[in-house]
Structure 1
Amino acid sequence: MRMVEAFLAAESDERTGEIPDLFLRFDIPFLNPAKYGDELREALLSMEQESRVGLAEAGLPANWQCPTLSGGQSDADTFLMVCASLREHYASLCEHLVAVLIPKYVADDGAWLKWLRQTVENAQATHVRIVVLDDARTLALEPLAQALPERVVTQVARLEMGRALEELSKEAGQLNTPGGQFRDLFVRMSHAASKGDTAKTERLGAQAVELAHSQGWHPLVVTAHFVMGSALLATQKPQEALSRYQQAETAAAAAEEQGNPQGATLRLKSRMAQGAALVATEQYTQAATLYQGTASLAHELKDPPMELECWRMASWCREMAREPDQAWALSQRAWEVGSSMNDEARASSTLPYVGEALLRLGRGRPGEHELESSIASVLGEDWRPKNTKGGQAS
């Protein structure tokens, strides 16, 4: 319902006056420059499709049709064209459609800057805008602003974001409904966590858990426990964090039993978080056992990078527990999983750390001298990770 919320906010918020804008957020990873625009377009189409029922219920037109795409256009051009068509359809509700691009991951900073520049240079739609966040410490996108001053405007944000989000939550209203109440609790809890106020985080988190549980919203119960667990870890309370992550796993299992497709994935994430808490308390044997047991779940979910990480961390924990033979065997399991992944998945995985572990644990074992060339044949000559931190990825 992201588009429904955005349209209603733009239409009803008195502060927007006569020029309400519609902001749509895209967090798709920037992996392949040639396909990124197509991925953005597909995400936009999904937003529009999932919002049709809500738009109709709100008395808003829900009959937009995606324009036919002609050949010869770049992926970015087709994305902007679809944005322009959608904004034109809802012209009475918004002055501009603003695509907020916040990639979860950028594989190549140079390619990202090049994609943005080409997109901005070719943009034709008057009422479509693009917003991109930059790090004020590095200003990686500043060359774009300097090269295209007539098309790019920069603005330094001096907002206290936690407080701003709390205010936005209250202004969004519906605090008399379970959904609105949970949203407000979650925002306030997250703000408290960002300030290191664990007492307030746990107090609000407990209320959020109780509310979500009463509604049968098990995935949201997991989310609330995660916020509390992260806050406790950040304030050097790993044992208390472990308890929160264990409760998160219980809620994830309940979601799974209800047939919620997110259940198994949330259970996997909960177990990985438990492993991190156990490592923080140096309970390496228990952590290794947990990681080993979690590898099968990652395998069932067809998530090779996570399965690799389970075996890798199990090996590292066994090594820390001074069980080198078990650590060696587990590193080999991790290598088997990682070396069978495709090139793209392997490039962003922790397989180089597994290679380091194999070299370290393989000293004095049969085949020791062939290990490095064997690893290089899979990862390339320049395969070693920049920072091994004793074998654990940073």
Structure 2
Amino acid sequence: MSTFKDENPITYRIEKMRTNWVENVTDDTQLVRWIVQKDEVRMVKAFALLESSEHGQIPDLFINFDLPFSTEQEYGLDLLNNWLGIWNDENARAEVADANVLPDWDDTPFQDAPVKKSEETFLDAMSSFAESIDPKQKLVLNVMPSDFMGEPGFVDWVLKCLEIMPENIRFMIFDLDEIPLFHKIPMHFRVSSLMANLNMSEATKEIVQQGDANDPSVGVNLCLLNIAEATNDKNEDDIHKWGKEGVEIAEKTGLKSIVATIYLAYGSAFFQLKKMKEAIRLFKSAEEQALEGAVEEDVAIPAVMLQVYNFQAAAYLYRKKYEEARECFMKSAEESLRQKNTAMYLESQRQASIMSEKLYDTKAAYDLTEEAYEKYKTHDKLQLKFTSMLLICNRLYDYAYDEKNKPLIDEIDEFATDIWGEHWKDASQKEMYQSILTTE
């Protein structure tokens, strides 16, 4: 007999999160901190969305914000303006007018707010809104910036808010277990830290197993999951077994992108086990399939192609084959440019430059760095903030300094200061961005 868990793997995990909340979040909690694995982030966001809907079961009222983080000074104003835009949206009001749930809230005092102390204005506005619903109403502000990748300014902004948090407001955030940012919050703040423990890989397997056994896509997904399990167990025989079976099933779909994906996962398993010769052999098979798929205009090929190039580059780098690694990074940069993937282009170009340095090809190293900088220096600065452009600026600045190129030194300094602030050259900031790029 199947259990509720078997039939509803996602619902089961939502219920686990609700139980966790009810058992651990107290009335005076200011910050609810979900400690999650990377593959659990989407479930935490889904939980917040569900609780903010008519299907929510926790008494608190949830409001979700996913605005990109700007700066510690401006983020409160960004959130406030976003909320006022929602509140004054006639279409949004029309959706709930019949339900008679709109409170009589006056947003006039919060219009045209200044940047100064904007976090305080934002919290006052949300507290006022909660009181207009019910004097006892608790509001959960789910603050999860869409592009948040470890910006320390966001942590400082949250701590500043906790110092002045109204009693009817609490924040909800997530913190990655492998690189926690909110684990050293001062003791005087009232924090409830919840371990998600959702085991999403098992949830995925449960969902896949519920599919049609005769459907090739189900077989492919099961093989991918079994390859992952065999990798965790360091069982090379099982990796080969499920890899070969996956390729056979994938070929029946007639889609080169799926065959390439299997080869990619198959090779990645040996990459994780540091069996680089076998990994490179399989990555080359993945590349062959991807190139054939590109000719056939398989729409899923571009995403696969980038992974193929980057995995090959990493494998060659591990074996200290810098020429081959550089070639793969340059292919990745070219493909990223074609796909308009700014972050991937900049990082691939940066890595190709590093490989050139290892090959004592100083001119190529400089040219690759300069090309990346020149190509994107007029790009949207908020988008550049969380890319490797900071590291590219550091590298190009050093080149310019060695060559006593003062105009270029001044240009880079002005450009970088505008994005990352006057301390952009600090080692701690450089290390932070290198950490981000390593863990993403």
TM-score range, shorter chain: 0.5 to 0.7
* Identical aligned residues as a percent: 17
The answer to whether structure 1 residue 317 and structure 2 residue 355 are counterparts is yes
Summarize deviations over 1:252-282 as a string: whole Å, max 9, x none: 3344344343322321232122222222222
Please name the residue that 1:374 is paired with: 411
Q: In structure 1, how many angstroms separate the alpha carbons of the residues matched to 2:302 and 2:160?
A: 38
- Aligned equivalents of 1:307 and 1:157: distance in 2? 34
Displacement of 1:134 in angstroms is: 5.7
Q: Establish whether residue 263 from structure 1 lines up as the match of residue 263 from structure 2.
A: no
Structure 1 pair 15/261, CA: closer, same or farther in 2 (3 Å)? closer
Return the alpha-carbon distance in structure 2 between the equivalents of residues 295 and 170 of structure 1. 34
Q: What is the CA distance between 1:211 and its match in structure 2? A: 1.1
1:348 Cα shift?
Answer: 0.8
User: Quick one: structure 1 residues 201 and 358, their matched pair in 2 at CA, closer, same or farther if it must change by over 3 Å?
Assistant: same
TM-score, normalising length: structure 1: 0.63
CA distance in 2, matches of 1:15, 1:29: 22
Structure-to-structure mapping, 1:298-313, within 5 angstroms:
298-313=336-351
Q: CA deviation at 1:357?
A: 2.5
Is the contact made by 1:175 and 1:184 (CA closer than 8 Å) also made in structure 2?
Answer: no
Who is 2:322 aligned against? 284
CA contact (8 A) 2:68 2:147 kept: no
Q: Which amino acid aligns with 1:334?
A: A
CA distances 1:308-349 after superposition (whole Å, capped 9, x unpaired):
223222211111101111211121112112422211122111
Contact conserved, 2:9 with 2:207, CA < 8 A, in 1? no
1:31 to partner: Cα distance: 2.4
CA displacement, residues 32-63 of structure 1 (integer Å, 9 cap, x when unaligned): 4757998xxxxxxxxxxxxxxxxxxxxxxxxx
Partner of 1:295: 333
Aligned to 2:367: 329
* Aligned counterpart, 1:253: 291
Instruction: Give the counterpart letter for 1:246 in structure 2.
Output: K
Contact persistence 1:10–1:22 (CA under 8 A): no
Q: Is the Cα–Cα contact under 8 Å of residues 324 and 361 in structure 1 kept in the other structure?
A: no
Q: How does 1:219-230 map to 2 (within 5 A)?
A: 219-230=257-268
- Deviations along 1:40-98, one digit per CA (max 9) or x if unpaired, are xxxxxxxxxxxxxxxxxxxxxxxxx9657989699xx9xxxxxxxxxxxxxxxxxxxxx
Aligned to 2:182: 140
- TM-superposed deviation, 1:172: 2.5
> What is aligned with 1:183?
221
- Give the conservation status (yes or no) of the 8 Å contact 1:198–1:228: no
- Distance change in 2, residues 1:30/1:321 (3 Å): farther
1:383 matched residue in structure 2: 424
Local SS of the residue matching 1:243: helix
**2:175–2:181 contact (8 Å) kept in structure 1:** no
Q: Pick 1 or 2: higher relative contact order, CA cutoff 8 A, min separation 6.
A: 2
Matching residue's letter, 2:244: A
For 1:291, the aligned partner's letter is F
Partner Cα separation in structure 2 for residue 326 and residue 137 of structure 1: 34
Q: Residues 198 and 148 (structure 1 numbering): CA distance in 2 closer, same or farther, change over 3 Å?
A: same
Cα separation, 1, equivalents of 2:211 and 2:270: 30
SS at match of 1:230: helix
Counterpart contact for 1:307–1:337, Cα < 8 Å:
no
Per the alignment, residue 91 of structure 2 pairs with none
Q: CA deviation at 1:207?
A: 1.6
Change (3 A) 1:296 1:135: closer
Structure 1 residues 289 and 161: CA distance shift in structure 2, 3 A? closer
Structure 2 residue matching 1:265: 3-state secondary structure: helix
Alpha-carbon distance between aligned partners in 1 of 2:5 and 2:226, rounded to the nearest angstrom: 23
Aligned positions of 1:207-222 closer than 5 A: 207-222=245-260
SS of the equivalent of 2:351 reads helix
Q: Label 1:222 to 1:329 Cα distance change in 2 as closer, same or farther (>3 A).
A: same
**Local SS of the residue matching 2:340:** coil
Q: Report the CA distance shift for 1:258/1:66 in structure 2 as closer, same or farther (over 3 A).
A: farther
Q: 1:273 aligns with which of 300, 306, 311?
A: 311
Distance 1:251 1:115 in 2: 52
**Structure 1 residues 171, 273: CA separation in 2 closer, same or farther (over 3 Å shift)?**
closer
- Residue 68 of structure 2 is matched in structure 1 by 31
| 2:210 corresponds to | 172
For residues 102 and 327 of structure 1, the distance between their equivalents in structure 2, rounded to whole angstroms, comes to 34
User: Deviation string for 1:240-262 (max 9, x for gaps)?
Assistant: 22233233233333443443433
Provide the rounded CA distance (Å) in 1 between the counterparts of 2:9 and 2:276: 45
After TM superposition, the score normalised by the length of structure 2 is: 0.57
Post-superposition offset of 1:224: 2.6
Point out where structure 2 has 5 or more consecutive residues left out of the alignment.
19-41, 47-64, 70-74, 83-93, 111-121, 127-141
> 2:375 and 2:298 mapped to 1: Cα distance?
28
Paired position in structure 2 for 1:54: none
Deviation readout 1:117-166 (Å, 9 max, x if unpaired): 99x9669xxxxxx995663995838979x9789xx7x654667765x448
Q: Provide the aligned C-alpha RMSD in A.
A: 5.0
Q: Quick one: which amino acid aligns to residue 282 of structure 1? A: K
Q: Distance in 1 between matches of 2:232 and 2:262?
A: 14
State the distance in 2 between where 1:222 and 1:115 align. Answer: 48
Please list the CA deviations of residues 167-210 of structure 1 after superposition, one character each: whole Å capped at 9, or x if unmatched.
62576353343232222222222222234334423321222222
Tell me the equivalent position of 2:242: 204
Q: Distance in 1 between matches of 2:272 and 2:358?
A: 22
- Taking structure 1 as reference, are residues 167 and 264 closer, same or farther at Cα in structure 2, changes over 3 Å only? closer
Contact 1:134 1:141 in 2 (8 A): no
Residue pair 1:328, 1:362 contacting (<8 A) in 2 also = no
Asked if the contact 1:249–1:267 (Cα under 8 Å) also holds between the matched residues in 2, the reply is yes
Q: What SS does the aligned partner of 2:360 have? A: coil
